[in-house]
Amino acid sequence: MKLNSITVKLGGTILILFLIVLFPLIYTIDQLFSSYFYSQKMEQIDFFATKYSETITDVNDKESYHMFEMISELNNVDLFIFNNKGVILNSTGLLNFKEGKSVGEIIKNPIMNKQHLSIEYNDSKTSQTYLISGEPILINNRVSGGLIVVSNMESINTSIAHMRSWLMISVIGSLLIAIGFTFFISRKLSAPLLKMVHATREIATGPLKTGLSITSNDEIGTLAKAINELGRELEDFRSNRREFFANISHELRTPISYIKGYSHVLKNSLYRNEEEKKQYLDIINDEATRLTTLINDLFELSKMEEGRLELNIEALDITNIVISSINKVNLKANEKKIKIISDLPITTPLFHTDGYRLEQVLINLLENAIRYSDDGRAIMVKVTNDQNYLYVSIVDQGVGIPENDLPYIFQRFYRVEKSRTRVAGGTGLGLAIVKNIIDLLSGHIEVQSVSGAGTTFKITFPLKESGDEDE
């Protein structure tokens, strides 16, 4: 396992966080237990000092001290009594507090002022620390002396040492458990990431469709789904790009071949008469026009897909746009004796759109209807609306579209019958352009068709400002 791997970094981070929490906690527990032992011992000797000072009726009566030795042994403490002059009258023999010696001012003054005494005393000779508790001996409400209880800190230090030993054992055990737990968790958390790294490397080197089987509902699962979707989209993009280049090369090759072939015939005067010459020139002109249309459609579609198509949004009447579109395609319709019937309401609400682009959509759909309708048929253009939406329907009686082809007709270069489309003069980009423009205008287009009976395109626009986001 590499030291710079995500598993090590994640595990190290978790372990460091654990230690950051653990050590202050251990320190706090140590201080709490130390304070507890100290306060318990201090309360104990305070209780002895208070209790036994009340039993003494005369500091000079040594007969009343006969219980001191027994009390000292039973409670593991030492005691001594001094009079109001600070002279020790009786002692169990601890430290320098011997009978006949005087106590220091730090002990005497609080007692003589009728105050309770609780201090730590450090013996400079033995370097040991003692707890001292003292109470004044009151006779007739006058201080006759003081009773001092002294406890060695050794028992407290022993208890604290035992407690710290157990704490250390607990820390070591916790660290071992934490290391194992951290390793397990870091492997568990990093495993999906490592799978995603492997999947993205596969995507980078060739195979685009990945099969990440990460089903969690957290951010890791979301990222895995995104990588799977990215792989599918890249695979689709690769397929579409391959198909696009195949289609565009074919679409360009055909008119170029015609132009090259017939120009060669004309250049070398291989025609029989002027009529045949004119026929070849017409073919060259038609193919040049078709080539120009293809290039223009490609350029416009590219701008739409990249979001670079500028829209001129304004409030317009849909009926005017429909009438204008019909007028522009009537010449082609008349050539095939096709009648375009319009069903327009007397009044329609104004709605915000780009009139030029909407007319481009309608002309494209009408030309498609004319192109794939037999001579003498009819095309219906109908406009309706309700409170929220505006509807435009174009219904033809043409050859129709097979049901299996309907989901794909808005894709670039998709053709239902390629040979028929080529004869009809289509580029295979018209419906793709229509779909992109309607999306930019915040509209929706749907198609219904029965093969051999005709096709209906229905466009829906919301009665609000269309295409605001693209303005």
CATH of 310-470, one of 3.30.565.10, 3.20.20.30, 2.40.160.40, 3.10.580.10: 3.30.565.10
- The yes-or-no verdict on residue 137 having pLDDT over 80 is yes
Lowest mean pLDDT: which of 199-203, 262-266, 358-362, 458-462?
A: 199-203
Reported as a pLDDT band with limits 50, 70 and 90, residue 204 is: confident
259, 284 Cβ separation under 8 angstroms:
yes
**Beta bridge mates, 341:** 380
Question: How far is Cα 210 from Cα 220, in angstroms, rounded to an integer?
Answer: 16
CATH of 11-158, one of 3.40.50.800, 3.40.50.720, 3.90.650.10, 3.30.450.20: 3.30.450.20
3-state secondary structure at position 33: helix
Write down the pLDDT at residue 365: 92
Q: Stretch 155-179: mean pLDDT, rounded?
A: 84
- The yes-or-no verdict on residue 221 having pLDDT over 80 is no
Lowest mean pLDDT: which of 32-36, 307-311, 313-317, 394-398?
A: 307-311
* Tokens standing for residue 103: 């106590």
Question: How far is Cα 462 from Cα 208, in angstroms, rounded to an integer?
Answer: 39
Residue ranges of the chain assigned to CATH 3.30.450.20: 11-158
* Cα torsion through 461, 463, 464, 469, rounded to 10: 0
CATH number of the 219-303 domain: 1.10.287.130
Question: How far is Cα 156 from Cα 129, in angstroms, rounded to an integer?
Answer: 11
Q: What is the pLDDT of residues 344-356, one digit of tens each?
A: 998 888 889 999 8
DSSP 63: G
Q: What is the pLDDT of residues 281-303, one digit of tens each?
A: 988 888 888 788 778 877 877 77
Q: Stretch 167-195: mean pLDDT, rounded?
A: 80
* Tokens standing for residue 242: 């391959």
Write down the pLDDT at residue 3: 61
Sheet holding 378-385, edge to edge: 339-343, 378-385, 389-395, 454-462, 444-450
Q: What is the pLDDT of residues 80-125, one digit of tens each?
A: 888 888 888 888 766 667 888 888 888 889 989 989 898 887 776 7
- The yes-or-no verdict on residue 430 having pLDDT over 60 is yes
Write down the pLDDT at residue 403: 85
Write down the pLDDT at residue 421: 46
442, 388 Cβ separation under 8 angstroms:
no
* Tokens standing for residue 251: 């679409």
DSSP 116: -
Q: Which residues contact 173 (CB under 8 A, 6 or more apart)?
A: none
64, 58 Cβ separation under 8 angstroms:
yes
Other CB atoms within 10 A of residue 120 CB: 11
Residue ranges of the chain assigned to CATH 1.10.287.130: 219-303
pTM of the model as a whole: 0.50
Q: What is the pLDDT of residues 369-425, one digit of tens each?
A: 998 888 999 999 999 998 889 999 999 988 888 888 888 888 877 766 554 444 455
Residue ranges of the chain assigned to CATH 3.30.565.10: 310-470
